[in-house]
Structure 1
Amino acid sequence: MSLKANILMSKNATSYAITRNKKTKKQLLSNEFYLNLSENCEHFKTQRGYVTCPLHSEEENFPIAFSLLVYKDIEMVERLLRLIYRPQNYYCVHVDKKAEPGFLSAISAISQCFQNVFIAPERVDVQWGTFSVLEPEFVCMKELWRYKKWKYFINLTGQEFPLKTNWELVQILKAYRGANDIEGTVKR
């Protein structure tokens, strides 16, 4: 039996994975990479694997509006957008005022490749634990209101990835029949 097989069979798979990941250096994609790639939008969408037509008529007839609150890590934000992107949905990307200029340029260039993705016109300096966390949501809601077709609004940060596909989200949201699902806590 090989060394790898012995490690895996001896329940040291976690140790093996950790060691292997430490040895593997992944080079992160830079702001400049996205600026250059998005110069040709069709090439960008094809190379990055964006869904460019509705996958199901039910999804097509149930557009969703998303707000994305982002401030760093262009590769993660682009990956999130790519995973949730559908041509019938609408996307407002709020770039925190503290974000680096290169990040803003890259996300702006990406958004220009899509008719339904836009950068929020007002940038807020978000301070966690204050009202400023909600302000970008209001900015995006105001902008998204111009697109009357969407049925529900979903807010995400650049570090959140939905655990459901767009089709699954449509099924869940249809079951709500116009109701909301908002979690909150009250200090007593």
Structure 2
Amino acid sequence: MKHAYLILAHNEFDLLNKLIAVLDDARNDIFIHFDSKVNTLPIIECNFSGLYILEDRVDVRWGDVSVVSAEYKLFQKASQKANYSYYHLLSGVDMPLKSQDYIHNFFKKNQGKEFVGFYQQDITIETELRVRKFHLFPHDFRADTSIVGLIKKIVRAVTIRLQYLIGFSRNKDIDFKKGTQWISITHDFLELIIQEKENVLEIYKNTFCADEIFIQTLCWNSVFKANVFNIDDEAQGSQRMIGWNNNMIIEWEGKDFERLIDSNLLFARKFSSNKMEVVNRLIKYIK
């Protein structure tokens, strides 16, 4: 069983190198997409894994479909290289919580399962805003504080409000689902995702945070729904440990070490170069 690790990175390169070192294993190939806004790429080396730095890069903007486009770059590059048993989508600030022996044994035992997390609360109101309304200037959800940025923000808000007032709603025939974008999936499911690329990019154009919706939606409306490892628990389903505080993802730190290693999940996010103590302890524990 050979695995592909697909990594989206844009900063925190000291931490990224730590992640790569832990994933560096002859049973893995590693693919990295650096945001095209990164002008000078860091030096990344592997001793055992195949390492592939994507040359065709996307200008990734938060909340925009460009995040989905970057994921597709990784999916397609990896699928062209080999037929891997599993494809793990990670960010550059993630870390595994288990050794590669443990991870490979886990996926061998659960071969054929899809590790996709599904959010468990009602998302009707959220999907109405995110993917059934038309969002202007999606490249600028995090607009700067200039006059132009402020005008874009106001115009977007006004047009969204008008769509609610007139009852405009698109994509009505799609049963949308939501969850963490970080997944571990089989080659068969990856092939379906790639086949649907044109439709996906069209459906989610001028939407908001589609990266948390499109894979869950594809999975839910396909035969792969029956293969989801745990459809009733987002963390177990994705095998990702994510800490939250007031709807914000926390950064793991030293005091969280015992909580992290006691987890039965395989990966965690997110970490920070400013809190490297927990990262170093975790790496020592894993190895």
Into which bin does the TM-score normalised by the smaller protein fall? Answer: 0.5 to 0.7
Of 145, 149, 154, which residue of structure 1 is paired with 2:79?
Answer: 145
Say yes or no: does 1:98 pair with 2:37: yes
* Alpha-carbon distance in structure 2 between the residues aligned to 1:155 and 1:111: 19
Say yes or no: does 1:80 pair with 2:14: no
Cα contact 2:24–2:47 (8 A) shared by 1:
no
Say yes or no: does 1:180 pair with 2:119: no
User: SS in structure 2 opposite 1:146?
Assistant: helix
Give the Å deviation of 1:124. 1.1
* Alpha-carbon distance in structure 2 between the residues aligned to 1:78 and 1:183: 27
Give the Å deviation of 1:114. 7.0
Cα contact 1:66–1:156 (8 A) shared by 2:
yes
Q: Which residue of 1 aligns with 2:276?
A: none
1:34-49 maps to which residues of 2 (within 5 A)? Answer: none
Per-residue CA deviations over 1:142-172 (Å, capped at 9, x if unaligned) read 1111232421000111111111211111122
Cα contact 2:31–2:53 (8 A) shared by 1:
yes
Cα contact 2:34–2:57 (8 A) shared by 1:
yes
Q: Which residue of 2 aligns with 1:136?
A: 70
Cα contact 1:63–1:150 (8 A) shared by 2:
yes
User: SS in structure 2 opposite 1:86?
Assistant: coil
User: SS in structure 2 opposite 1:173?
Assistant: helix
Amino acid at match of 1:91: I
Q: Which residue of 1 aligns with 2:28?
A: 89
Give the Å deviation of 1:80. 0.6
Amino acid at match of 1:80: L
* Alpha-carbon distance in structure 2 between the residues aligned to 1:114 and 1:169: 17
1:117-132 maps to which residues of 2 (within 5 A)? Answer: 117-132=51-66
Per-residue CA deviations over 1:81-131 (Å, capped at 9, x if unaligned) read 0011112311110001122x23x1x24xx2587771011132112222222
Amino acid at match of 1:64: H
* Alpha-carbon distance in structure 2 between the residues aligned to 1:76 and 1:92: 16
User: SS in structure 2 opposite 1:137?
Assistant: helix
Kindly tell me the number of residue pairs found equivalent between the two proteins.
122
Q: Percent identity at matched positions?
A: 24
Cα contact 1:94–1:119 (8 A) shared by 2:
yes
* Alpha-carbon distance in structure 2 between the residues aligned to 1:163 and 1:152: 17
Cα contact 1:111–1:118 (8 A) shared by 2:
no
Any unmatched runs of 5+ in structure 2? 125-287
Amino acid at match of 2:5: F
* Alpha-carbon distance in structure 1 between the residues aligned to 2:49 and 2:88: 19
